[in-house]
Amino acid sequence: MALPVTGTRGDIVVQVEFDPVGAAGTYTNACGVTSASFEISNDIISFDVGDCDDWSASVQKVKNYGAQDVTMSIDATWSAAQHVQMIDWASRNINEGQLNLRLLYPNATTGQVSMIDGLALMETLTLDNVGNVEGNPQTENISLQFSGGITVTKAS
């Protein structure tokens, strides 16, 4: 039996292009990320079709892809290094709140996915543990929705 090769922290890196005008193409690692979920959801359109020649034949259910929805949720320990950028993104002070986000697979080999890129809009930014008395670090939860789908790049 062969065991699968699994991923650990660093095998997939979340990066954001925080300055798409002044430093286009410069991606910064999202600091403090403790967990992230990335989801691609495809709508399936279903309809019934009857045979053109034999009207007594059973009706067939045909299915096709519809729209695609891409979302991401990020949990992080609050980071002083990126606090301003995250607040600016959430309050739409940077590029109207639409920033390029990249999932980078730094160890990808030829033919494997090396990057997933998309235009991300921050739906929510939640700061937790603000003013806690136990001395626990502040945390943040970020919900993103992607506009216009994603681009998948394979390593060559």
At 102-145, the pLDDT tens digits run 999 999 999 999 999 999 999 999 999 888 899 889 999 999 99
Q: How much of the chain is in helix, strand and coil states, percent to nearest 5?
A: 5, 50, 40
Task: Tell me the two tokens of residue 116.
Answer: 């997933």
pLDDT value for 64: 96
- Please, what is the Cα angle at 149 between 144 and 152, to 5 degrees? 105
pLDDT value for 20: 83
Residue among 11, 9, 49, 60 nearest 32 (CA)? 9
In the block, tokens 């709508």 appear at: 43
Q: Spell out, as residue ranges, where the chain has pLDDT lower than 70.
A: none
* Cβ pair 102, 115 in contact under 8 A: yes
